Structures are given as C-alpha cells and as structure tokens.
Amino acid sequence: MVSMSDKNPDHKIIADYNGYDYKKEFWDNSGREYEDLADRMAIRKLLPDAMENFVDIAGGYGRLADEYISRAKKSTIFDYSKTELADAKKTYGDRINTKAGDIYALPFKDEEFDSLMMIRATHHFKDMPKVIEELYRILKPGGVAVIEVASKKTLPKMMRYWFKKSDINPFDRKPSYLKELEMYNYHPKYMESLFKNQGFKILRVLSVSNFRSAKLKKLFGVKNLTRMEKVAQPLLAPIRFAPSIYYKLEKPAK
Ligand SMILES: C[S@@+](CC[C@H](N)C(=O)[O-])C[C@H]1O[C@@H](n2cnc3c(N)ncnc32)[C@H](O)[C@@H]1O
C-alpha cells in the first residue's frame, strides 16, 4: 500500500491500494475469520432486503459483495484502486459494476442510488464532513446508508491512555490520527453529530467486532466468539463499545 501523504502531504487520499493485494495480505489465512463474520452479521441485519440501485463505497475487491448482490437489482463497487476493482470483476463478472474514483468527488449523479454501504474505510479519510456530504448527495430521498465507523472510544484505547502508553484521549470527540499506522479514528458522538447535521436520520446502531483480540480468539475459538458477537452487537450498541460502530442511516423523504 502506498501512502499518498508521503508523495503529497496535502492530498486527501491517504491510502492507495493500487498494486496492494488487500485480499491476500489482509484477509486470506490472516486469523481474521471472526472479524469478517462480525461484519457480515451486521450487514445482514442492516441492509434493506430488496434494493434497486446499490453502491458499495470503498468496496475494494468485493469481500462483502455476496452479502448484497442477491438483494439488489443493480450493484456497483466504487473504489480508488483499479487493482481492487479488477479483482472484483474477476470474481463477480457481469453481476457487478465497478467504478474508480476519489471519495471526495464521487463520480455519480445526485440521488443516483437508493442504498449504499461503506465498511472499513473511515480510518482512511481525513475530511470526514466532505465524505458524509458526498454520500448524502448520491442517495435518493428515502434512501438508506450503512456506514461502519472506526471508533476511537474503545476499551484497549482507554487502557493505553490511562496507563500513559498513548496520549490520544479516547473521550475527546475530536478525530484522532495514528501517525505510525496512518489512520484516523472517530468518536461515535462526533460521527453522529456529522450525520445529523448533514440531514441523516439514525435508524439503528450496532456494536461490531466486540471481541477483536488474539487472546480472546485463542481462549474461546472463533465459533464461540461469533455466538457471543451475535448477542453483543445489539446489547452493547447503547454504549458504542466496539472498535467498529455500524450505523443504519436514512436520507429523509422529501
Ligand atoms: C480497508 S479497505 C476496505 C474494503 C472493503 N470495504 C472491505 O471491507 O473489505 C479500504 C478501501 O478504501 C479504498 N480507498 C482509500 N482511499 C480512498 C479514496 N480516497 N477514494 C475511494 N476509495 C478509497 C481503498 O482502495 C480500499 O479498497
């Protein structure tokens, strides 16, 4: 993965996956089966059962495409990386459309889609108000957006802060930037005020990947953790516990 911020510090794209085999390097045989299942569990609950025109924003190689292809009449994956999109085409052929571009200027018409999702992407984005504005723009009134947020307010981050291993305050609502990982984390309350200011209505929240820990995976095994995750996603949503907070949003009908 090439960091665009190395090439141009002002550029808003900070993660260029062109030439990076995200599937092979990050997901295949990586011990992340639990995280993948937790994402799928949430998406199954939040995405509408029947969709007309759907877009997976920053959808990469289409890891989650089998969760929406059968629910939508037309599905598109949008991503900056042409390498990722070519992989998606290789797997799904005519069942998926692909479109390359930059999230800050989505190459789609106003109100083009009735539904969209954006999973595991917020940590790459510096200008979140612009991202949310763009997502809102391309949705039809009455349309639904499922957005996953990389939360800064997690128990491990609190522990690191309390034990002075990190000076990032997880309770501070301002976005945080993890320099070594080149990643942004967002406070759920910050994101919720962005959603509301943009005009979105929050329909449902889930706390996802609650047990993302190598130790817990070893102790309980993926099968048991997944069972616990099923209960925890709605149960822990009110306290926004997990590193991934999922939102089901609606652009109100006119
Ligand atoms: C961690 S991957 C997530 C992929 C997919 N959503 C998933 O959950 O498997 C992040 C994706 O964001 C894309 N991305 C990063 N910056 C982008 C930008 N400015 N515009 C569009 N896509 C971007 C990357 O190319 C990459 O495919």
What is the pLDDT at residue 230? 97
pLDDT score of 3 more than 50: no
What is the pLDDT at residue 9? 44
Under 8 Å between Cβ of 247 and 195: yes
Mean pLDDT, the chain, rounded, equals 93
What is the pLDDT at residue 12? 56
Per-residue model confidence as pLDDT tens digits over 167-195: 999 999 999 998 888 899 999 999 999 99
Which residue owns the Cα nearest ligand 1 atom 23? 80
Domain ranges in the chain?
Answer: 4-150+187-250
Per-residue model confidence as pLDDT tens digits over 106-157: 999 999 999 999 999 999 999 999 999 999 999 999 999 999 999 999 999 9
Per-residue model confidence as pLDDT tens digits over 52-108: 999 999 999 999 999 999 999 999 999 999 999 999 999 999 999 999 999 999 999
Which residue owns the Cα nearest ligand 1 atom 3? 120
CATH topology of domain 4-150+187-250: Rossmann fold (3.40.50)
Orientation angle between helical segments 33-46 and 214-235, nearest 10 degrees: 10
Under 8 Å between Cβ of 48 and 72: no
Q: Which of 103, 182, 208, 209 to mutate to test the pocket of ligand 1 (most atoms within 8 A of CB)?
A: 103
pTM reported for the whole predicted model: 0.93
pLDDT score of 25 more than 90: no
Two tokens, residue 155: 């128990």
- Alpha-carbon gap, residue 171 to 24, rounded angstroms: 35
- Alpha-carbon gap, residue 211 to 213, rounded angstroms: 6
Contacts of 24 (CB under 8 A, 6+ apart): none
Under 8 Å between Cβ of 251 and 200: yes
Q: Which amino acid is at 124?
A: H
User: Average pLDDT for residues 16-34, to the nearest whole number?
Assistant: 85
What is the pLDDT at residue 14? 53
Residue ranges around ligand 1 (CB below 6 Å): 13, 15, 17, 22, 58-60, 63-64, 79-81, 84, 102-103, 119-121, 124
Largest CA distance in the chain: 52
Paired residues of 147 in beta bridges: 118, 247
In 3-state terms, what secondary structure has residue 167? coil
The rounded Å distance from CA 162 to ligand 1 centre is 32
